[in-house]
Amino acid sequence: MKIAFFDTHPFEKEAFDSENADGKHEIHYFEPRLTKETATLAKGFSCVCAFANDRLDKTTLTLLKEGGTHFIALRSAGFNHMDLKAASSLGIRAARVPEYSPYAIAEHVVAMIQTLNRKTHKAYNRVREGNFSLNGLVGFDLHGKTVGIIGTGRIGKVLAKIMLGFGCKVLLYDIKRDEHFARELHCHYAGFEDILRQSDIISLHVPLTSETKHFIDEKAFSQMKRGVMMINTGRGALVDTKALINSLKTGHVGHAGLDVYEEEAGVFFEDLSGKILNDDILARLLTFPNVLVTSHQGFLTHEALSNIASTTLKNISEFEKNLPLSNEVKVG
Ligand code: NAI
C-alpha cells in the first residue's frame, strides 16, 4: 500500500525500513508534521501514517479525504490528537498501536524519578568540570516511600512491579480496578484524594480524555504532600501546567518530571537550539532546578520502535486486505 508517513524521525525510519524489508508497502517519508498546511502532501496516498503530535482535526481529515486517503495508521497508543467523529463521518478508518512496550515508558519513569532524586544529571556535569563537591546533591531512599500510580493499565502495572522491587509502598488508582492484580502484588487501590494525600511520588498513566483533562489541577496539587514528586509520562494536558508552576514556586511540589507537556506539539521532537523559545510557560518550567523535562521520549527504546513498526504495518495490511482491524479506533 502507498503510505504517506508524516513527522518522520531517523530512529523510526530505520525501524520501519527494517520491518518493511520485503518492500510490501510503498512508504514515502515526509519530515513535516501533519497539519492542515501539510495535508496536501498526502494527495494520492490511500494511507497516512501519523504520530502523537500530528494534528488530525476535522479540517486536516477533510483535506486528506479529498486527496484520496481512506485509512490513518496511528503509530502511537494515544489517539486524543484525532477527531474520531469527523473521521467516521468522512468514512476514514483508523488503527493504533495499543501496546508496544509498557516497559519502555515505565522504565523511563524510574529514570526520571532517580535523576530528580539523586541528581545524577548535575553530578555528571560537575565532575566533568573538576567539581567533586557533594553539596546540594542529597537525595532520599526510595525504600519505604509511598508511590501513587494513577492509571493501572499496561504501563501503570509495570511501574507498580518495579517500584515494589525498590521496597516502596504502592497505592493504585483507576476507574476500573484490577483487584486480582492488586492482591497478587500485595498492594491496594485507594481513592483519588487518598492517593494525593499519602503519596511521596505520584505518576500519571491515564489516557487524555474529556474526563482526565487537567486531572491534576490547583485543587489536586493543594491536596498533595508538601515536597511531593510528580511524574507525567501520560499526556501533557492531564496536568494544569500553570497550577504546577504555582505549586513549584511555593515549594509545595518538590520535584516534577515531565515527558509530556500540554503545548508540546511543534516543540518536542524538534531541534530548536539557536532559536527563540516562544512558549513562556515551558520557558518558566525550564528555570526550576527541580524540574526535569524530556521531549516525549518514554517510548524510545529499540524494542518499542520495532514493535511500533511491526504493529503499524500489520494494521495497514489488515486494512488493505479488508480484514477485521484488530486495533481499530472509533467513536464510543
Ligand atoms: P492503558 O489503556 O493500558 O491504561 C490506561 C488506564 O487508565 C486503564 O486502566 C483505564 O481504566 C484508566 N483510566 C482511563 N480513564 C480513567 C479515568 N478517568 N480515571 C481513572 N483511570 C482511568 O494505557 P497504557 O498503555 O498504560 O498507557 C497510558 C497512557 O500513557 C496512554 O494513554 C498514553 O497517553 C501514554 N503513553 C505515553 C508514552 C510516552 O512516550 N510518554 C508512550 C505510550 C503511552
DSSP string, 297-324: -TT-SHHHHHHHHHHHHHHHHHHHTT--
Q: What is the spatial distance between Cα 64 and Cα 53, in angstroms, rounded to a whole number?
A: 17
So which residues are the catalytic ones?
235, 264, 296
Mutate to test the pocket of ligand 1, among 105, 192, 196 (most ligand atoms within 8 A of CB): 105
pLDDT tens digits for range 151-210? 999 999 999 999 999 999 999 999 999 999 999 999 999 999 999 999 999 999 999 999
Q: How confident is the model at residue 332 (pLDDT cuts 50, 70, 90)?
A: confident
Q: How confident is the model at residue 324 (pLDDT cuts 50, 70, 90)?
A: very high
Sign of CA dihedral 29, 33, 38, 40: positive
- pLDDT, residue 331, reads 87
Nearest Cα neighbor of 329 from 319, 317, 236 is 319
- pLDDT, residue 328, reads 98
Q: Which segments of 169-264 are extended strands (E)?
A: 169-173, 188-189, 201-204, 228-232, 253-258
Residue percentage of the chain with pLDDT more than 90:
97
Examine the pLDDT at 272 and tell me if it is beyond 80.
yes
The one-character DSSP state at 39 is G
What is the CATH code for 2-100+301-329?
A: 3.40.50.720
Residue 161 makes CB contacts below 8 A (sequence gap 6+) with: 185
Q: Which segments of the chain are extended strands (E)?
A: 2-5, 26-29, 47-50, 71-74, 93-95, 146-150, 169-173, 188-189, 201-204, 228-232, 253-258, 291-293
Q: Which amino acid is at 43?
A: K
- pLDDT, residue 266, reads 86
pLDDT tens digits for range 222-269? 999 999 999 999 999 999 999 999 999 999 999 999 999 999 988 998
Q: Which fold has domain 102-293?
A: Rossmann fold (3.40.50)
Q: How far is the CA of 190 from the centre of ligand 1 (A)?
A: 18
- pLDDT, residue 123, reads 98
- pLDDT, residue 265, reads 86
Q: What is the spatial distance between Cα 162 and Cα 125, in angstroms, rounded to a whole number?
A: 28
Mutate to test the pocket of ligand 1, among 178, 193, 206 (most ligand atoms within 8 A of CB): 206
CATH 3.40.50.720 in the chain, residues?
2-100+301-329, 102-293
Q: Mean pLDDT score of the chain, rounded to an integer?
A: 97
Average pLDDT (138-158) is: 98
Nearest CA to ligand 1 atom 44: 77
pLDDT tens digits for range 52-67? 889 999 999 999 999 9
Examine the pLDDT at 213 and tell me if it is beyond 90.
yes
Q: How confident is the model at residue 273 (pLDDT cuts 50, 70, 90)?
A: very high
Ligand 1 neighbours, Cβ below 6 Å, are 77-78, 102, 105, 151-156, 174-176, 205-209, 211-212, 233-235, 259-260, 296, 298-299
